[in-house]
Amino acid sequence: MEETASSASNDGYPTGTTPEHCQHMINHSLSRNATVKFVREALTKAGCPVADKFFKPEHCSMKVGGGFKQDDGIVICSNNVTHQDEVDVALTHELLHAYDHCRAANLNWTNCEHHACSEIRAANLSGDCAWKRELLRGNTNIQKQHQICVRRRALISVGLNPHCSMHRAISAIDRVWKTCYNDTQPFDRVP
């Protein structure tokens, strides 16, 4: 799952947006965002097509942008997103998890290394660690900011896995870092 920044009050919602508006933004991403469309097409080519009902808004108890549930699909946390860009990035991030789940027959989300690899890839390839987003978060390292962000975001997500203590999450990320950071499938390179 992906962390997000908190948002101001919106129509009675303490943060984020209404489920209806979130669904509208999801539909917009699915029909107009090139990266979301590309990863969704890659899922189809890999033998795992996903229908529109695979994507839905949900009120989330954790401060995350979304989540991939292998049996239920992708949720976008309406109470934690406000802008279209947040939905675009969260959908891309979660679609990359779905892509990893599709292409790896033995992917086990309770295995810290498996989870770490998918989180590294999703943070690296979703646009979540783009320089502009990092600047808005107040992270302004000039050198290797993208790698620092990917590692930080992966650690946050793997750390939320009840099967992975923070120590195990750090160790898992370190063990799979080079292979998973350099794996840009289904893209030719980091978008």
User: How many other CB atoms are found less than 10 A from the CB of residue 85?
Assistant: 16
The catalytic position among 2, 86, 94, 134 is 94
Q: Which residues contact 162 (CB under 8 A, 6 or more apart)?
A: none
Owner of token pair 């027959």: 105
| 86 in active site | no
DSSP per-residue letters across 104-123: -TT--TTSHHHHHHHHHHHH
SS3 category, 75 = strand
3-state secondary structure 162-186: CCCCHHHHHHHHHHHHHHHHCCCCC
Q: Are 160 and 1 in contact (CB under 8 A)?
A: yes
Q: Which among 48, 168, 30, 161 is positioned nearest to 101, based on CA atoms? A: 48
Q: Which among 101, 126, 112, 100 is positioned nearest to 167, based on CA atoms? A: 112
Return the active site residues.
Answer: 94
